[in-house]
């Protein structure tokens, strides 16, 4: 290996150790400190005894497991049905559905929770009030502020991500095996169970584990729907311990102890995800010879089968968007059709443009999202390149370190970075935008490197040999060979990170300060402060902007084939 390559690998290793290693080390130290702050004197096991010896913790853990398992099962089940219908059959509106299925990604999960609270709140929700009028009951039949409500909404939020993760595997499948089974007299149900789902099993299991990791300490939906109903999961318990103590002092030591326990569990899930992802080669059906990907004709079932994806779009995108638009035009929250006494108004929207805090939040959000997306795309591209093509002893270390952040959820990373930068006063970024950028780069690096691994894997070694034989150095090879061939993948990673950085709440809430207000924290303040109409107005604008980004992303993907 050339000196330039060794130097580049060493530099990447240092960056990854800083991004991933420092938060974990400081989280561990904090868990053994009486105050929970690393610089303070003394060591203790009391934080672990308090957390894991509390009878309430078992209930919180059970709620968390039920919440994650239910939402993942719902998301993977719906996404699998959608991707099979859209990618493998002649369902109506296939091209449009490919874009519409991703539309719910335009809304931050916090907004989705707000929308469903407006729809299914027991007393004031739109759907419940309509049903109350019909039945004469004092409350509606649906209670969104429950564990079941949280599972339903979180499941809907995770469907687009599950769809994107399953789609490459479904598209790559050669339909010859299925056609041969059908020709031999096997029923469509048996073919689906014995061939299609068997071939997709590694992708399905990897997707389920990835979503479980992502959802285990997800704060947005539990925060909006769980806190009002007093249904606590790990993420909301962390929030309570940090921000809602009678003494006013955060219980950082207990948070660190709880976080480290969760981290051990999630690391195990992360390695399981990695193992299932690597098993995909055993189920390969794409070879050097030409394959076939014919669409299955649904025949007379086509109109009925087409109802499923369109029903999902209606429930996951149209209905929440409609209620947010309606609420944003009201002087106070009430159900559609009840005849607003104050009339419809644009006051909530116009107020946003004169709100200095809102202008600052938009500016901060765009800066953080743009810088984070660009940094992740660059780091992911370089890490994937040197991990797969660089060789040497550091290649597998880079691969493992770049994947490790998948086991560090946003709420825990936020708390860990508080410990890091309250201790490292020589790096004065606590309360600044820079700390959010560091958090987002760390959070989304695992996705970026996984996506770019697939891109880099397609580069044949002959390309590198040709560049080297022509006298091209590392910099020229990366610029002239890797960049043009990786551009589509880099744009996809950049777009995904930008969208999720705008949506992120958990880390932003843990790291918030006077100088790093972003849209999601402002939205949280308005909603938790009882100003639902203003929160809805913010949501309408955010969703419009994100829908535009997703549309441009899909156009780019379609243009590249």
pLDDT for residue 288:
42
Q: Structure tokens of 306? A: 């087409």
**CATH class for the domain made up of 45-283+307-328:** mainly alpha
Region of poorest pLDDT, from 34-38, 213-217, 234-238: 213-217
Q: Does residue 514 surpass a pLDDT of 50? A: yes
At residue 89, the 3 state secondary structure works out as strand
H or E element in which residue 230 lies: none
- Residues with Cβ within 8 Å of 100's Cβ and at least 6 positions away in sequence, in order, are 309, 313, 317
Q: Ramachandran region of residue 248, left (φ > 0), alpha (ψ -120 to 50) or beta?
A: left
- Check: CB of residue 328 under 8 Å from CB of residue 539: yes
Beta bridge pairs of residue 89: 296
- Check: CB of residue 89 under 8 Å from CB of residue 298: yes
H or E element in which residue 366 lies: helix 356-385
Q: Does residue 435 surpass a pLDDT of 90? A: yes
- Check: CB of residue 376 under 8 Å from CB of residue 448: yes
pLDDT for residue 286:
43
Q: Does residue 369 surpass a pLDDT of 50? A: yes
At residue 296, the 3 state secondary structure works out as strand
Q: Structure tokens of 291? A: 């394959």
Q: Does residue 154 surpass a pLDDT of 90? A: yes
**318 or 560, greater pLDDT:** 318
Q: Does residue 289 surpass a pLDDT of 50? A: no
Of 552, 419, 421, 438, give the one whose Cα is nearest residue 504: 438
pLDDT for residue 124:
76
| Percentage of residues of the chain with pLDDT beyond 70 | 81
Burial bucket for residue 281 (CB in 10 Å: 0-12, 13-18, 19+) = exposed
Q: Does residue 554 surpass a pLDDT of 80? A: no
Give, rounded to a whole angstrom, the gap between the first and last alpha carbons of the chain. Answer: 36
Q: Structure tokens of 547? A: 């829908």
Alpha carbon distance 274, 464 (integer Å): 27
Q: Does residue 474 surpass a pLDDT of 70? A: no
H or E element in which residue 429 lies: none
Alpha carbon distance 360, 364 (integer Å): 6
Alpha carbon distance 354, 292 (integer Å): 57
Neighbouring C-beta atoms of residue 553, cutoff 10 Å = 20
pLDDT for residue 279:
58
Q: Ramachandran region of residue 121, left (φ > 0), alpha (ψ -120 to 50) or beta?
A: beta
pLDDT for residue 535:
87
CA atoms within 13 A on the CB side of 90: 9
CA angle 464, 465, 466 (to 5 degrees): 90
pLDDT band at 425 (very low <50, low <70, confident <90, very high): confident
The topology (CATH level 3) of 1-41+337-561 is MetI-like fold (1.10.3720)
Mean pLDDT, range 220-244, rounded to an integer:
87
**559 or 396, greater pLDDT:** 396
pLDDT band at 290 (very low <50, low <70, confident <90, very high): very low
pLDDT band at 385 (very low <50, low <70, confident <90, very high): confident
Common-topology check for domains 1-41+337-561 and 45-283+307-328: yes
pLDDT for residue 561:
52
Q: Does residue 466 surpass a pLDDT of 70? A: no
In terms of C-beta distances under 8 Å and separation of at least 24 residues, what long-range contacts does 394-400 make, across chains too? 394/6, 394/9, 394/10, 394/13, 395/9, 397/13, 398/9, 398/12, 398/13, 398/16, 399/449
Domain ranges of the chain: 1-41+337-561, 45-283+307-328
- Residues with Cβ within 8 Å of 115's Cβ and at least 6 positions away in sequence, in order, are 107, 319, 320, 321, 323, 324, 539
Q: Does residue 259 surpass a pLDDT of 90? A: no
């Amino acid at each position: 290996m050339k000196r330039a390559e060794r130097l580049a690998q060493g530099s990447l290793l240092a960056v990854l150790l800083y991004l991933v290693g420092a938060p974990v080390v400081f989280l561990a130290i904090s868990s053994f400190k009486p105050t929970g702050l690393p610089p303070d004197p003394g060591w203790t096991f009391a934080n672990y005894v308090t957390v894991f010896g509390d009878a309430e913790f078992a209930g919180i853990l059970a709620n968390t497991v039920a919440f994650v398992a239910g939402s993942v099962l719902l998301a993977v089940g719906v996404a699998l049905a959608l991707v099979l219908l859209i990618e493998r059959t002649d369902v109506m509106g296939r091209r449009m559905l490919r874009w519409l299925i991703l539309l719910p990604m335009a809304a931050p999960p916090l907004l989705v929770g707000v929308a469903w609270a407006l729809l299914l709140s027991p007393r004031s929700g739109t759907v419940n009030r309509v049903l109350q009028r019909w039945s004469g009951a004092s409350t509606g039949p649906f209670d969104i502020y429950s564990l079941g409500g949280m599972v339903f909404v979180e499941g809907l939020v995770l469907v687009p991500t599950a769809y994107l993760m399953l789609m490459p595997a479904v598209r790559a499948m050669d339909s010859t095996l299925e056609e041969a089974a059908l020709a031999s007299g096997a029923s469509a149900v048996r073919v689906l169970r014995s061939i299609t789902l068997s071939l997709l099993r590694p992708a399905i299991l990897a997707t389920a584990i990835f979503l479980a990791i992502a959802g285990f300490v997800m704060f947005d939906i539990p925060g909006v729907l769980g806190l009002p109903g007093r249904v606590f999961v790990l993420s909301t318990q962390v929030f309570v311990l940090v921000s809602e103590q009678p003494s006013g002092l955060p219980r950082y030591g207990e948070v660190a102890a709880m976080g480290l326990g969760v981290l051990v569990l999630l690391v195990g899930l992360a390695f399981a995800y990695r193992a299932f992802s690597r098993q995909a080669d055993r189920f390969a059906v794409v070879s050097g010879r030409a394959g076939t990907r014919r669409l299955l004709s649904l025949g007379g079932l086509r109109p009925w089968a087409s109802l499923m994806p369109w029903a999902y779009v209606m429930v996951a995108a149209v209905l929440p968007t409609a209620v947010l638009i309606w609420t944003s035009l009201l002087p106070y929250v009430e159900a559609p059709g009840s005849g607003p006494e104050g009339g419809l108004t644009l006051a909530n929207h116009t107020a946003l443009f004169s709100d200095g805090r809102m202008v600052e939040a938009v500016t901060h959000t765009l800066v953080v999202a743009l810088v984070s997306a660009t940094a992740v795309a660059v780091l992911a591209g370089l890490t994937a390149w040197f991990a797969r093509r660089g060789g040497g002893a550091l290649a597998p270390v880079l691969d493992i370190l770049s994947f490790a952040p998948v086991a560090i959820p946003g709420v825990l990373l936020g708390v860990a970075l508080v410990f890091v930068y309250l201790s490292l006063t020589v790096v004065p970024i606590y309360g600044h935008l820079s700390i959010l950028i560091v958090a987002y780069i760390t959070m989304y690096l695992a996705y970026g490197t996984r996506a770019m691994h697939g891109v880099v894997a397609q580069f044949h070694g002959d390309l590198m040999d040709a560049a080297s034989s022509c006298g091209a150095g590392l910099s020229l090879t990366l610029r002239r060979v890797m960049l043009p061939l990786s551009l589509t993948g880099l744009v996809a990673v950049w777009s995904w990170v930008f969208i999720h950085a705008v949506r992120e709440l958990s880390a932003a809430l843990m790291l918030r300060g006077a100088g790093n207000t972003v849209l999601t924290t402002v939205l949280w303040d308005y909603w938790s402060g009882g100003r639902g109409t203003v929160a809805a107005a913010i949501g309408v604008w955010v969703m419009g902007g994100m829908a535009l980004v997703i549309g441009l992303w899909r156009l780019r993907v379609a243009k590249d084939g």
